[in-house]
Amino acid sequence: MRAASELETRRLNETFATLCAVPSPSRSEGAVAAYVRGELEQIGVEVVEDDAAVLIGGQSGNLLARIGDRGGQSVLFCAHLDTVPHDGAVVPVIVDGGWESQGETILGADNKAAVAVLLELARRATIEGTPVDLELCFTVAEEPGLLGADAFDVSVLRSDVGYVYDHATPIGEIIAASPTHIRWRADIRGRAAHAGVSPEDGRSAITAAARAIAALPDGRIDETSTSNVARIRGGVAGTNVVPEHAQVDGEVRSLEEGRAELMAEAVAEAFQDATNEPGCQCDLDLTIERSFVGYKLADDEPGVIAAKAALEACGYEPTMVASGGGSDANAFRAKGFRCVNLANGTQSPHQPSERVAVAELEAMLNVTFALLDAFGQD
């Protein structure tokens, strides 16, 4: 397929700016889902919404659209509609050739750059056709842990392979490996007492939490693994009370699933030991849950082969890289559906400095067109 025209790139940027201005924090994607549905239905594309909203307690379910009905090869493209929470309205502006937020908010390029690309892909496909059939999936609640993708029924898909654009690195990178991610929460109950009169009658939940945290490795553990204590809450306003309650949240990640499980076991051991120390015995309620499972791509997967061909056709050198983050590709692959995550050229996601160059946004669209060519030549 030919590269994007001037009309298509102008419309792509306009769509992106419109999307960024629509608030869509996780589980509150109703307005942006309505916009996406409206844009697709306006060009004659039927959109089906699943029941993810009910399952995750959100405003919208996942959206699925199909273009083409040859009954032959089909390719899925997926983007998530939600963003991390932020205060204030997003006002997207172009500064030095790239989209930024005018204020102190995020921009929302994660993942609205990909949403805009898929809408422009749909517009061309309905007018000019494509070498293969298309499925477009717009998921919800990706940011809190791939909740929408987890709720999505991949058995309804006609495609054998899919793509997401959800890695904030230069275009050309193919995410060859992604970690297993495990979250944990330790809820500690001790016993309150007067800190000046009878501290020996108390059991400090904060002291127990501190001992556990001190026993845990933190940061980058090795080349494949990380650990983070993210939040601690507890105590009361007065300094004269032995704190009865403390709550600690954290996570572990590793490209090796077994290593992630061992690290989670170490978290459990540290909190169990700390809450059973003489003089500081506390009740412990520890929750450990796996958010998503990691994966490793094989070089000979059809999705990888096509991605390399498309990137090369657009002048990029394909590079297989490992990531410390997850995406909807993790959830789809865990369900047995082959999905590949491609870098999208955005920068600084989840931050006020978030940015995407206009050239990178337009390149993402051209790579998408080239992907269809790659499959059409099979």
Residues with catalytic roles: 82, 142
Of 80, 20, 116, 3, the residue nearest 355 (C-alpha):
20
DSSP state letters, 180-249: EEEEEEEEEE-B--BTTT-GGG-B-HHHHHHHHHHHS--EEEETTEEEEEEEEEE--S-TTB---EEEEE
- For residues 264 and 288, is the Cβ–Cβ distance under 8 A? yes
- Three-state DSSP class for 296? strand
Could you give the strand order of the β-sheet that contains 92-95, starting from the edge strand earlier in sequence?
Answer: 92-95, 98-101, 355-357, 346-347
Tally of CB atoms within 10 A around 288: 15
Q: Which residues pair with 64 in a beta bridge?
A: 48, 137
- For residues 286 and 187, is the Cβ–Cβ distance under 8 A? yes
Would you mind telling me the total number of residues written for the chain in this entry? Answer: 378
* N-to-C CA span, the chain: 15
